[in-house]
Structure 1
Amino acid sequence: MTNSEILVTTTEKIPGHNYEIIGEVFGLTTQSKNMFSDMGAGLKSIVGGEIKAYTKMSHEARDKAIERLREAAVEQNADAVVMMRFDSSSMSNDMQSVVAYGTAVRFID
């Protein structure tokens, strides 16, 4: 099974499927913006509003974390990941760490 075929859901049950639990899986990434983005963010913080460079960084970090979560599920021969959640933290003003985690399962029907 390829990464793109792994179903990732925040629900506990997948309608129409019975499955056995394999175990927990994680996908982790730490993202950073470059110096120019930081300068723009600093200026934006003076006048207020959305800091689009950081919003983009957050989306990229979540996408990368899910990609790595799927890779971990493939390594465990899973068909899906249920109960997926995100956790994130800032390591400094310009770095964000994001983990996607859930339970890898194998379909038995």
Structure 2
Amino acid sequence: MIVTTTNDLEGFRVIKHLGMVRGLTVRSRSVLGSLGASLQTILGGNITLYTELAEKAREEAYDLMLQHAAERGANAVLAMRYDANEISDGVTEVLAYGSAVVIEPRS
């Protein structure tokens, strides 16, 4: 599966648009994770516990988007984006989305 943030892919042409696909996950911090992250904020710098949580959430949303695209018969996703919102304190949704398409190399 080819995924790009651009609206087209050089060297390929879109032969079929399959519509919007998405992957959505909702994640929260554990009590221990929140405590550890709070301690890291006191020391400053990269808060690795939050970084890991964000990375896992994006990876999960991305994988779900790819699964949705494959179910539709796509071999590429164009204009891929992420979006994230805090639903409540410590609970975040992460959405990966884009346009599912079937592409073929230009001759």
Normalised to the residue count of structure 2, the TM-score between the two structures is: 0.87
Q: Which stretch shows the higher mean deviation, 63-72 or 40-49?
A: 40-49
- Corresponding residue for 1:21? 17
Question: How many residue pairs get matched?
Answer: 104
> SS of the residue aligned with 2:45?
coil
Deviations along 1:35-59, one digit per CA (max 9) or x if unpaired, are: 1111112223334332211111111
Q: Does 2:4 correspond to 1:9?
A: yes
- What RMSD, in angstroms, separates the aligned Cα atoms of the two structures? 1.5
Name the counterpart of 1:31. Answer: 27
Give the match for residue 92 of structure 1: 88
Letter of the structure 1 residue corresponding to residue 91 of structure 2: M
For the residue of structure 1 that corresponds to 2:58, the secondary structure is helix
Which structure's residues are more often strand, by fraction?
2
Q: Which runs of 5+ in 2 are unaligned?
A: none
Q: Percent identity?
A: 37
Q: Give, in angstroms, the shift of residue 108 of structure 1.
A: 4.7
The whole-number CA distance in structure 2 between the counterparts of 1:108 and 1:47 is 51
* TM norm structure 1: 0.86
Task: Give the secondary structure class of the aligned counterpart of 2:12.
Answer: coil
